[in-house]
Amino acid sequence: MLDFMDRVQNAFYSAIHWNRDNSYARLNESARALLDFPTPRGIHLSLSSLSSPQSATSFSLSSLGPISGSLSYLYSSIPLPVPSTANACLQSDVIEGYRQLQELVPPRNKEEAEREREVWLGGERIDQKEALLYGRMYLPRGVLEGLWMRRVDETSVGVVKGVSGAGRGDGGTLLAMLQQDVGKWSMEYMYSSDVALLGWRGLYNFGRDPRTHPDPPELPPDKPVGRFSAGAELYYGVLNKSAGMSTGLRYTTLPKHPGIPLTMTVTLNPLMGHISATYAVRAGESAAFASRFEFNIYSYESDVVVGCELWSRKSPESSKRKDLSFLGSARLSQKGQLGLLWEGRIKELLFSVGGTVDFRETGRMGGGRLVKKVGLEVQYSS
């Protein structure tokens, strides 16, 4: 379940017409959401408010061991329509399940973007490019987390993230990124102060170029409609003289596909010898399934994970996605780890309850804890 500040940041991406899914970092997003969903630990409460269309505040409290919490503040240079917990659509606003990718669209032209953002005061134009500022203080440790994001031009966004605090031995970490997206392809350039890491990511979409062919072609109603994408990432640590890379392929169906929506990916890390293949499918409006197979060509270790999510509706005859009110998620790995999660809304509160079970503990000498973690998370926003 996304917290309030994540939903506000997603609203910012939507407001500036930025396609977050057209990135190599989100190549496996559908399978990751169905197989790697986090389960709560302890009791976590969150109170948030969109105090104005351009600013938001949030307070959270956790009771895992010593009581801890955090204070967050976010400011956006443009109004953000973020619904409260009472009005948010669970399947599109709150919970990241199967991702139905859309048709590629061309970048906005400069004249259109200038008209949308122009603001006048006293006969002078005072508007600036869209920007977002976010800060979070963790208590009682005093760790500070920050994010600054700004539109550079119609195809680029700059992002700076940082973590600092007295409890960190390294004094803090800074990450700077420049993201480019023209529809047909996208790239990211990164620098991290941790070991002076330099990185690059890229994703290329085969088929139609939205800049020259903005409208998708008309196809027979029974013909499959999908998109192949290929991507890679490279990174190098200047201080520790280490490098890494990975590459991947993805096929996903698009909204006009006559059959069930599905996504298939395969990724390879040649230096580590790691291969991963995923398959995710949305079987109707109320269910989605995914599986992942991982194998290492050097150690011959492998793992298989399967998962699903099932939606419950307010009424049996309802067929609208907005009427979905509860979600049950489960995953099981070959290593005997079971994850369960139940999410939904009760009146104006969003809740998430679940846990992780490790069946391997039952066969070990001396026994062990079968239930690794269990928890409850409650959110309220206005």
Token pair for 144: 């500070």
Q: Which of 230, 178, 233, 276 is nearest to 22 (CA)?
A: 230
pLDDT value, residue 86 = 64
HSE-CB of 240 using CA atoms within 13 angstroms: 11
The range of the structural domain enclosing residue 306 comes to: 4-381
Of 77-91, 96-110, 286-300, 317-331, the one with minimum mean pLDDT is 317-331
Average pLDDT over residues 253-268: 93
Instruction: Give the count of beta carbons closer than 10 Å to the beta carbon of residue 183.
Output: 19
Mean pLDDT of the chain: 86
Q: Residue 319 above 50 pLDDT?
A: no
Question: Helices (DSSP H) in the chain: which residue ranges?
Answer: 4-15, 29-35, 110-117
Instruction: Give the count of beta carbons closer than 10 Å to the beta carbon of residue 288.
Output: 23
> Measured between alpha carbons, how far is 10 from 93 in angstroms, rounded to an integer?
9
pLDDT value, residue 221 = 79
pLDDT value, residue 322 = 47
Q: Residue 162 above 90 pLDDT?
A: yes
CATH of residue 227: 2.40.160.10
pLDDT value, residue 59 = 93
> Measured between alpha carbons, how far is 180 from 306 in angstroms, rounded to an integer?
34
Main-chain dihedrals φ then ψ at residue 27, nearest 5 degrees? -60, -40
The predicted-structure confidence for 178-216, as pLDDT tens digits, reads as follows 999 999 999 999 999 988 999 999 999 999 888 888 888
How many independent structural domains does the chain possess? 1
Tell me what percent of the chain is helix, strand and coil, each rounded to the nearest 5.
Answer: 10, 50, 40
Q: Residue 363 above 70 pLDDT?
A: no
Q: Which of 251, 248, 224 is nearest to 234 (CA)?
A: 248
Amino acid letter for position 53: P
**Which pLDDT band holds residue 300 (cuts at 50, 70, 90)?**
very high
HSE-CB of 280 using CA atoms within 13 angstroms: 27
